[in-house]
Amino acid sequence: MKVGLVYTSTTPELIELVEEEVKKQLGEDVELYSIQDPSILADTRDAGYVTTNAAARLITMYMQAAQEGCDAIINLCSSVGEVADSAQDVANYIGVPIVRVDEEMCRDAVRSGTRVGVMATLPTTLEPTKNTIKRMSRECGKHVELVDCLVEGAFGLNQEEFKQRMADSAKQIADKVDVIVFAQGSMAYCEEYIEKLFGVKVVSSPRFGAKELKKALIKKGCIAE
């Protein structure tokens, strides 16, 4: 069994955590086909939205993973998650499902309370994640209040500096929300730290995405339940 891991940007922490979570769900023998194009996120950040060219390059990456024999694909960037949504009809037709890493995380956040904090280091990730939470709230028939938390200047910091910047930012919203959503998978290594520090539920996407990837492979018939 072979799965495609599609990144638009990576950190060593993100790669390690994603691969750990995927193997936890699918076993150590799963073959991982990893592909990335940092220019997609860079172009999206510069423009403030997903440009036609960036979207086309991402869809090309999905097709490359399919051509390389992947049984399923996980899209690992929330900034471009809506591109994955747009590609679902083609994915279903060719029999290679595309799973969004953040979708089930957002659904879980909606189930967890009525006040949802959304933390991101980039505005281009904040808005798509909020849109996904709003969609999940409609699907769940539940109204939620969103509280933004843009972690200024955190992008590109080392681990310790990043954790401190995350703590400083989370402090501003922790007593105002029932759950905090980390909009970027690269934040995931701070999940337990922030949760213990402020006593509020925190969710990050890699573990949810890996579970949804397994569900997609079960539905396809690649593995048994």
Residue 216 has pLDDT above 90, yes or no: yes
What is the model's pLDDT at position 160?
Answer: 87
What is the model's pLDDT at position 136?
Answer: 95
Q: Which of 80, 45, 49 is nearest to 62 (CA)?
A: 80
pTM over 0.85: yes
Q: What is the CATH number of domain 103-205?
A: 3.40.50.1860
User: What is the rounded CA–CA span in Å between residue 64 and residue 222?
Assistant: 20
Domain boundaries, the chain: 2-101+207-220, 103-205
What is the model's pLDDT at position 211?
Answer: 96
What SS3 state is found at 115? strand
Residue 92 has pLDDT above 90, yes or no: yes
What is the model's pLDDT at position 213?
Answer: 97
Q: Which of 156, 166, 211 is nearest to 193 (CA)?
A: 166
User: What is the rounded CA–CA span in Å between residue 35 and residue 216?
Assistant: 20
**Is the distance from CB of 195 to CB of 202 less than 8 angstroms?**
yes
Q: Which of 123, 130, 127 is nearest to 46 (CA)?
A: 123
User: What is the rounded CA–CA span in Å between residue 71 and residue 61?
Assistant: 14
What is the model's pLDDT at position 159?
Answer: 85
Q: What is the DSSP letter of 195?
A: H
What is the model's pLDDT at position 39?
Answer: 95
Q: What percent of the chain has pLDDT over 70?
A: 100
pLDDT, one tens digit per residue, over 192-214 is 999 999 999 999 999 999 999 99
What is the model's pLDDT at position 14?
Answer: 87
State the architecture of 2-101+207-220 in CATH terms: 3-Layer(aba) Sandwich (3.40)
Domain 2-101+207-220 identical in fold to domain 103-205: yes
Helices 52-67 & 38-47 angle (0-180, nearest 10): 160
Lowest mean pLDDT among 61-70, 108-117, 118-127, 133-142: 118-127
pLDDT, one tens digit per residue, over 46-84 is 998 999 999 999 999 999 999 999 999 999 998 899 999
pLDDT, one tens digit per residue, over 4-33 is 999 998 888 889 999 999 999 999 999 999
Q: What is the DSSP letter of 178?
A: S
What SS3 state is found at 98? strand
How high does pLDDT run on average in the chain? 93
Spatial CB neighbours of 168, under 8 Å, sequence gap ≥ 6: none
What is the model's pLDDT at position 9?
Answer: 84
